[in-house]
Structure 1
Amino acid sequence: MTGSVQPIRAEAGKRYEVFHTDCPASEVVDHVTSRWGVWVLIALQSNSLRFYELRDSIQGISEKMLAQTLRALVQDGLVWREVEPTTPPQVTYGLTQFGRDLGEPLTELLDRITRRLSPREAGGTVDQGWKRSR
């Protein structure tokens, strides 16, 4: 997840070539749809969270993977990061407007999926909201 890009708009009437490996939009799509990118965007949809709150809310993610995913999403302009100068420093993450715009349909997609599953198939996710179960 290195070499991220800042969100930029295509010229009016021009579209990105998203299937081309050099397309800046394809890298953002890769980060958003990565194994953990989707869950981070969904977890931050309702409110901002500190690093450990975010880690605890996404079952199965390691600190290393959360840090890498957040770094990429921050570089892509989807997530903001705020460091409070305390000892130890407290870091809070939240969604930018761009992140909210992308996270909203992901949350809706997850809601549609969980509505279609029986509680047994969902592994408890119906009762636990968006939380991912193992």
Structure 2
Amino acid sequence: MDVIGGKWKALILWELENYGVRRFGELRRGLPGVSEKMLIQQLRELEEDGIVTREVYREVPPRVEYQLTELGTALNRALEPLGDWGRDRIERIGANRVHPVTT
């Protein structure tokens, strides 16, 4: 749970799974509401856990790219049932708001 704990890690994994290699700014734009400090912290933790790689290109301006490792891809596959459960729950909640269940 430590590997994916927190509000942003699963969303970072999803972003990298769906869009592949991403630069820091692209990740930040893809995750509205995340602060720069929090995104840096979460990416560092994911890198330490071997879930993402960070590639630094010695250019001006510097370019840094993040992508999933094989372990990160496997983690995303393991999380798919949880994502399915969440989508089903959102649909049920939405349906209940349109047609409230009376008891």
| TM-score of the alignment, normalized to the shorter chain, above 0.5 | yes
Q: Percent identity?
A: 40
Cα offset for 1:107?
4.3
Q: Deviations over 1:46-92 (max 9, x none)?
A: 21100000011011101100000000110111100101111121100
Paired AA for residue 36 in structure 1: W
RMSD across aligned C-alpha pairs, in angstroms?
1.9
The two structures have a TM-score, normalised by structure 1, of 0.61
Q: More helix per residue: 1 or 2?
A: 2
Cα offset for 1:97?
0.4
Structure 1 residues 108, 56: CA separation in 2 closer, same or farther (over 3 Å shift)? farther
SS of equivalent residue, structure 2 residue 17: coil
Q: Deviations over 1:19-61 (max 9, x none)?
A: xxxxxxxxxx213121111111111112110000001101110
Instruction: Provide the residue aligned with 1:48 in structure 2.
Output: 21
Structure 2 residue runs without a partner (length 5+):
95-103
The two structures have a TM-score, normalised by structure 2, of 0.78
Instruction: Provide the residue aligned with 2:57 in structure 1.
Output: 84
SS of equivalent residue, structure 1 residue 30: coil
Matches within 5 A, 1:1-134: 29-46=1-18, 47-118=20-91, 121=94
Question: 1:42 touches 1:107 (CA, 8 Å); kept in 2?
Answer: no
Runs of 4+ in 1 over 6 A off after TM superposition: none
Structure 1 residue runs without a partner (length 5+):
1-28, 122-134
Q: Distance in 2 between matches of 1:111 and 1:44?
A: 18
Q: Distance in 2 between matches of 1:117 and 1:60?
A: 20
Count of residues in correspondence between the two structures: 93
